[in-house]
Chain A
Amino acid sequence: QLQLVQSGPEVKKPGASVKVSCKASGYSFTGHYMHWVRQAPGQGLEWMGRVNPHTGVTNYAQKFKGRVTMTMDTSITTAYMELSRLRSDDTAVYYCARDKEWGGYPLDYWGQGTLVTVSS
């Protein structure tokens, strides 16, 4: 069945970087953009950006431009999100999610989430 399985929890110090992976299975990996959404503790959802699996072209939310890098390795059907220069307010659960239809924004399948804790 269709699955997005993310990597495990991370603890990082301020200023460091984190790279979260998202292994996809059960569908045509190159047929859907991959999006990343985060959720700080007790807060709402925040869209971070998306990546085109064919071209690698990305669209990032303005807030994260310069700090985030989203990539996809089609050979192993895995997407990655790397966030640099971490701050304490980057502590959140990070989700990968695929678009329901090519290029659209409704997200129909989500990973289980990866908790990233930023603490000195």
Chain B
Amino acid sequence: QSVLTQPPSVSGAPGQTVTISCTGSSSNIGAGYDVHWYQQPPGTAPKLLIYTNYDRPSGVPDRFSGSKSGTSASLAISGLQAEDEADYYCQSYDRNLSGSVFGGGTKLTVL
């Protein structure tokens, strides 16, 4: 059971917008710790997609956006493309565990 909860799967048609949620608690996201997002296509290493809640590393399209409110965060992907099909993970810090934690991951399927 992950400390950060994500939906196991989401799907959308090309061109649509999907949102992936990441729900935490008062010991992690709700305590003000930043949330980061990763994209992991099958068989590859994770790639940093969003850091400190909404910033994008250079090279990441602005179709990807992050937000945070209360004990939750969200990743939105607009203008879905076939290449977006991957697993997505959120990450934060948990003060009770004194370490970083990941969500369980969400598999995005582009229909």
Q: What is the predominant secondary structure among interface residues of chain A facing chain B?
A: strand
Chain A interface (Cβ within 8 Å of chain B)?
A: 35, 37, 44-47, 49-50, 59-62, 95, 97, 100, 105-108, 110-113
Residues of B within 8 A of A49 (CB): 99
- Whether the pair B48, A108 counts as a contact (CB closer than 8 A) is yes
Q: How many residues of B contact A (CB 8 A)?
A: 26
Question: Counting CB contacts under 8 A, is B104 at the interface?
Answer: yes
19 residue pairs of the A-B complex, CB under 8 angstroms, read A44-B2, A44-B87, A44-B103, A45-B38, A45-B102, A47-B99, A47-B102, A49-B99, A61-B99, A62-B97, A105-B92, A106-B34, A106-B48, A106-B51, A106-B91, A107-B36, A107-B48, A108-B48, A113-B45
Contact of B104 among A44, A95, A112 (CB under 8 A): A44
Count contacts between A and B, CB distance < 8 Å: 65
Q: Are B105 and A105 in contact (CB under 8 A)?
A: no
- Tell me which residues across on chain B come within 8 A of A106, comparing CB atoms: 34, 36, 48, 51-52, 91
Interfacial chain B residues near A97, Cβ < 8 Å:
46
List chain B residues, Cβ under 8 A from A62: 97-99
